[in-house]
Structure 1
């Protein structure tokens, strides 16, 4: 997907490079100056200097560079040519080529015999800088385009003619069955680099029909081609491999929520399921499939204010009792095994009984009764989502 749309026609190419030229020209001057101490200029195809070590020349017309651009070959200017050409100094002018088109000229002032040996190296370095800058900008453009398209696709109930046209331009098949997955990174205190996004957006897709898009700076949306039978185990393997790649290569921990297979035209349903699964994955720091959810199918539909009220109604009286909250949390982690809970907390079994009796006295909910135990479990589950309620 990432290579689509990179080959622009020459009009678009010139438009892009014209927009980038001033900053890019300054970068070229700075880098070339590291190789040679002579005066350097970068000139556009109209013969006007757009950057240089001598800032007083910026904006001036350079006839030698114009000739170089038109003839597509190196031009050496000696003292005797100076009176015949406007705005020039002794030196060499080299055409800068990109996709076999002249997009500018780099000029080096000085004795031609001394500086000519540097000419080809400098031109190659300049063209490399331009190429890197161009493809980096194209990656950013394509990444933003895919992200915008995917978000529009996920929000639509029925693809509009405009969306279908965009999909055709991006070579995305809207009719394939797909499975939506959302990968979320642990919170970062700094933005992730272009190289990072370029690497990871290329690394997941196996089918040419998979769609991979970033979502902000902390999420990846995967719309996996499921037109053939794709078992959830296969998807889980791919996701595990991908998350391990993120960890090993970039030191980034991530988790994922996965929706159920659905028709491409209604992919938003699979995406909504993936978001629901992601909420559970966020707390467990693992890969969760929506089809695995049971109790969470109900609890995730509750509004935060309802959950807060429920917490107050059930365990509000022990919110300041960190020891009791820790005990209940561990009890549920140990599947209500009193022996394992006591061992995990490094306390005597009698101490555990004492704490659970205290929970009962303060909440009027008995952990030994199924109904009350479920009430306490839900309260602890909701409290993990809203830790600020702990006093």
Structure 2
């Protein structure tokens, strides 16, 4: 429990409060950290007595001749969960250092408690991430997966809706931020949430309690912005039984690709043309772009015109207004697109080709 690395941290933090020699000793009486490096590894009889008796031990100058490895000062047992796990010693005149004794003990125990719960959080996060990654890739619920679910308190009998939340352009998040994120996601006890690297959260919503998924997601994304300045996009799959979570996750990934473009929430059930787009390889998309709008890839003005035309649902009037150009200028540009690409924006077939090409290009 009280490892040398933690003991060294305790010494550094306690030294900020008192300018005296400090040692941390294990329950066997061996010094494992000290402000004086040469004392590390030495035996300290006073600390052994303090640990065994579970009490503070004041060491006077007279005691230094009869107790092995000690100096005048105070030794205080360190408690964690009502058990002694070590001793902190403060060297100096007992009358001088005694007023600091309880404060330093409490500070030390607080540091140990924080470290313990941080380790527990890290362990649980790693275990949950491993479990969820296996779950979303499994087409059957194996005995091993069921056992892991039982250990982590996950109910595999419930239907699930997979959600992937991806953070946009953020530095690695601290443990405290991750803890706050998971606390926010745990409001529904049967939901399951796990990290996926440092940029994503996989959130498997309990199908029986999910309620208004869009509203819950909007609230969560707002929480990220307000609390940590994190912007995010989210893709949402459809609900499946536990053995079908891999399908819901695949849908969420497909929806996320669309959501990433403008930092929104996209539901797979609302996708139409984008469903097909997600199944086409990058190589095919690149070749399609080259065959269709390849001749205008370097014509920034024409590309922006086509993009705005599709954003305005092919309304020439709205497109011209949005581009701040005369309608005749818009007609001229569309004619130029046709001349260069051989595709007529007035033809349904050609228009669809242009739309797909622009869609693939934006991806």
Are the equivalent residues in 2 in contact too, given 1:175–1:265 (CA < 8 A)? no
Are the equivalent residues in 2 in contact too, given 1:212–1:222 (CA < 8 A)? yes
Q: Which residue of 2 aligns with 1:57?
A: 39
The answer to whether 1:113 aligns with 2:95 is: yes
Distance apart, 1:219 and its partner CA: 0.4
Q: Which residue of 2 aligns with 1:237?
A: 215
Matched position secondary structure for 1:284: coil
User: For residues 281 and 288 of structure 1, what CA distance do their matches in structure 2 show?
Assistant: 5
Matched position secondary structure for 1:260: strand
Q: Which residue of 1 aligns with 2:176?
A: 195
Query: Can you list the C-alpha shifts for 1:247-303, whole angstroms capped at 9, x where unaligned?
Result: 111111101000001001221111111111111111132101110000111111000
Matched position secondary structure for 1:299: helix
1:1-391 equivalence runs, <5 A: 17-18=1-2, 21-188=3-170, 190-227=171-208, 230=210, 234-385=212-363
Query: Can you list the C-alpha shifts for 1:192-234, whole angstroms capped at 9, x where unaligned?
Result: 1111100011102332110011110000000000035x55xx0
When structure 1 is superposed on structure 2, of 276-285 and 254-263 the one drifting more is: 276-285
CA RMSD of aligned residues (A): 1.0
User: For residues 314 and 297 of structure 1, what CA distance do their matches in structure 2 show?
Assistant: 21
Distance apart, 1:79 and its partner CA: 1.9
Q: Which residue of 2 aligns with 1:388?
A: none
Distance apart, 1:358 and its partner CA: 0.3
When structure 1 is superposed on structure 2, of 240-249 and 277-286 the one drifting more is: 277-286
User: For residues 170 and 383 of structure 1, what CA distance do their matches in structure 2 show?
Assistant: 43
User: For residues 268 and 49 of structure 1, what CA distance do their matches in structure 2 show?
Assistant: 52
Query: Can you list the C-alpha shifts for 1:164-183, whole angstroms capped at 9, x where unaligned?
Result: 11110111011210100000
User: For residues 261 and 210 of structure 1, what CA distance do their matches in structure 2 show?
Assistant: 13
Matched position secondary structure for 1:106: strand
Unaligned runs of 5+ in 1: 1-16, 386-391
User: For residues 289 and 61 of structure 2, what CA distance do their matches in structure 1 show?
Assistant: 88
User: For residues 266 and 334 of structure 1, what CA distance do their matches in structure 2 show?
Assistant: 38
User: For residues 277 and 17 of structure 2, what CA distance do their matches in structure 1 show?
Assistant: 65
User: For residues 196 and 205 of structure 1, what CA distance do their matches in structure 2 show?
Assistant: 14
User: For residues 98 and 206 of structure 1, what CA distance do their matches in structure 2 show?
Assistant: 30
Q: Which residue of 2 aligns with 1:13?
A: none
User: For residues 60 and 201 of structure 1, what CA distance do their matches in structure 2 show?
Assistant: 43
Are the equivalent residues in 2 in contact too, given 1:92–1:108 (CA < 8 A)? yes
User: For residues 116 and 170 of structure 1, what CA distance do their matches in structure 2 show?
Assistant: 45
User: For residues 25 and 285 of structure 1, what CA distance do their matches in structure 2 show?
Assistant: 45
TM-score, with structure 1 as normaliser: 0.91
User: For residues 162 and 114 of structure 2, what CA distance do their matches in structure 1 show?
Assistant: 33
Distance apart, 1:157 and its partner CA: 1.4
Query: Can you list the C-alpha shifts for 1:131-187, whole angstroms capped at 9, x where unaligned?
Result: 111111111111111011100111111121111111101110112101000000102
User: For residues 217 and 242 of structure 1, what CA distance do their matches in structure 2 show?
Assistant: 17
Distance apart, 1:347 and its partner CA: 0.8
Distance apart, 1:43 and its partner CA: 0.5
Task: Work out the number of aligned pairs and report it.
Answer: 363
